Structure formats: C-alpha cells, structure tokens
Amino acid sequence: MTLTQLRTFALVARLGSLRAAAAELGVSEPAVSAALGALRTDLGDPLFVRAGGGIELTPGGQALAAYAGEIVGLADRARRSVTAATSTVGRRLRVLASAACEEHAAGPLIDAFTARVPGAAVDVVRGDAAAMATALAEDRCDLTLGVRPRPVPGVDSVPFLRYQRVLVAGARHPIAASGPVPLPAVLAEPWVTGPAGLEDGSAERCWAAGLPTPPRLERHDSEADALAAVLAGHGVLLALAHAVRDELRRGTAVVLPVAGTPVRDLWWVTVPGRARATGPAHALRRFLTTPDATTALMSGSGRSRPRPRPTVRVALWSRQ
C-alpha cells in the first residue's frame, strides 16, 4: 500500500468515477485502474463495484475511504510544513470562496491583506458552498469565505460581513411600474442569478424555499452579468443591496417590495481548529474582522474592478 495508491483511491471515492479522477490527477485512466488494482490485491477486497455509470464502494471501500482521506491530508500537511520550515519563500494560502463572496468580496479583501502582509501569496478558488466543509476536512483549502459551512467538529467560523439582498428589476421592465407587486407576478418572471444560483445554506435559499412556488432560476456566469440582463429588462434579480446602490441611485433599477425582503444574512470566514490551521490562515481570519477589511470591502463594492494582482489566482472548484 503506497501513498500514491491511497491518494488515487481517495480521489476516486470522492468523485465517484475513475475517469474523473484520472482527469484531475492528469494521468490516464489505465494508470488509475492499475493503482487501484494493486491496492485491491494488497487488501484482499474489491473496494468498489461498477454501478450506474460510476462506482459504488463496498463496505471495505467505505472503511478505507475514511482512512485514505485522512492519511493523504496528513501527508500533504507534513510536506507543506517541511517546505515552510526549509524555504525562505512564504507558502501560498489556499482560500475557498462561495461564488457570490468570490465575486463581490474576495478581491478587495485579498488585495488589502496582501498589501498589509508583504510577501503573502493567496490562491482564491471559487467553490460550491455545499462542499466547503468537506474541503476543509480533507485539507483541500486553508480557510473558506462566504456561506457558513455546515457544522462539523474541529472548525472555527467567525462572521465578517453582514449583507442584505433586495429583489430588483430594470426600470424599463413593466413589473417595475405597476405599483405594489403581487407575488405571483414576481414568481412568473425568470430569476436571474450568478453561477451558483441561490447558494446552499444561505438565507436567500431558505427564503425562496418558503415561497408558494419555487422561482425559475436562470444562471449567468456572474452576478454582474445577471444584473446587466435585468437592467436590459429581462427578469428579476435578488441582488446584494450594496452592489446595486449606484443603479438604484441613478434610477436604472428599482426595488420590488416583496414580503420577506430584504433578505439578511452573514458571510463567514472558517478555519480548521488550532491543531490544523496554518499561521497565514489565522492571520487572514483576524484581518477580516478589522476595520481595515470593512473599509476595503465598502470601497471596493458597487463597481467593477480588475481581477486581483498576480499574487491571487482565481480558479474553479466544485464537488462533481
């Protein structure tokens, strides 16, 4: 049993597919099959069976999956600790942000943090809010930003931004000029959103779940694109109030007074427990609760901005 075999098996167990694991590892599918074959022979258990176009873990495979993820995570942490102890170059901080937080808050916050901490390097990865707890547990990120991960042992969550969402339409949309808006009329419109829709675990998701009928979501590549569609007269948007303040002030967008809105919620920064969290993660967590972070957020919101500086890489990560 080798670390490579365990790493391969942990990835296959998480993704549910040999092909997807091979793509993420950057190797061929036969190479993944060979690693798993050696592991099955060593342990005397098939570990998984083919089912429904993917795989289904055997009881032995389920037992191994828990150990494999933990062992691989420990090995990765040991490697990073050795590198940090022997290198003069600071390690990169891995931040997983829910889609809306990545778009509206991560850029100005990381800019302010890296300006305050010379040499800091941060990778900001946009991810599925529902997968954040798993990413922390499996050591695939150092901290998360945005929707609070579901409660799990050994993590520490602190709120850093209170926000509210308002339902808006473009000023040229007929629904915007009809006075009080009945809920059925609003629900008849497409609800344009960012790429994550109404994020899992968010207050807006909970509010929408209580409506008489579920809204018809139309996802765009970003909330900025969704807002552009609404300003052009298409659908409605449950927008961050501070992100549309200029449009409301200019009169190009209007707030629809729907019961239950504004929807208020918090964005959180979550780090592993002290035994696992890195120093840079704790430093960023502390910074996010300072007045300097609030100033960076407010000064950077409500208008378009360039992508972060080269110290920040924005990529896509999801639980597929």
Question: Cα(298)–Cα(97) distance, rounded to whole angstroms?
Answer: 18
* % residues pLDDT > 70 (the chain): 85
Task: Provide the CA 67 distance to its chain's centre, in angstroms.
Answer: 25
Write the CATH number of the domain with boundaries 3-86: 1.10.10.10
The predicted model gives 137-162 an average pLDDT of 85
pTM: 0.67
What residues does 312 pair with on adjacent strands? 122
- Domains in the chain: boundaries: 3-86, 93-320
Query: Which of 75-89, 90-104, 152-166 shows the lowest per-residue confidence on average (mean pLDDT)?
Result: 75-89
CB contact at 8 A, 155 and 270: yes
What pLDDT is stored for residue 276 in this prediction? 62
CB contact at 8 A, 309 and 111: yes
Question: Cα(131)–Cα(97) distance, rounded to whole angstroms?
Answer: 11
Residue 231 has pLDDT above 90, yes or no: yes
Q: Do 3-86 and 93-320 fold alike per CATH?
A: no
**Per-residue pLDDT tens digits for 277-314:** 677 888 899 999 898 888 887 776 544 444 433 334 44
| Structure-derived torsion over alpha carbons of residues 31, 33, 34, 39, reported in degrees to the nearest 10 | 130
Query: Which of 29-33, 90-94, 99-103, 297-301 shows the lowest per-residue confidence on average (mean pLDDT)?
Result: 297-301
Query: Which of 4-13, 123-132, 244-253, 269-278 shows the lowest per-residue confidence on average (mean pLDDT)?
Result: 269-278
Per-residue CA distances from 128 to 3, 97, 315 (Å): 27, 8, 12
CB contact at 8 A, 3 and 75: yes
Choosing among 2.40.50.140, 3.40.50.2300, 2.30.130.10, 3.40.190.290, the CATH entry for 93-320 is 3.40.190.290
The predicted model gives 208-228 an average pLDDT of 95
pLDDT band at 48 (very low <50, low <70, confident <90, very high): confident
Average pLDDT in the chain: 84
**Per-residue pLDDT tens digits for 164-180:** 999 999 998 988 876 67
The predicted model gives 5-15 an average pLDDT of 86
Identify the residue with better confidence: 86 or 286: 286
Nearest in space to 226 (alpha carbons), one of 189, 175, 192? 192
* % residues pLDDT > 90 (the chain): 40
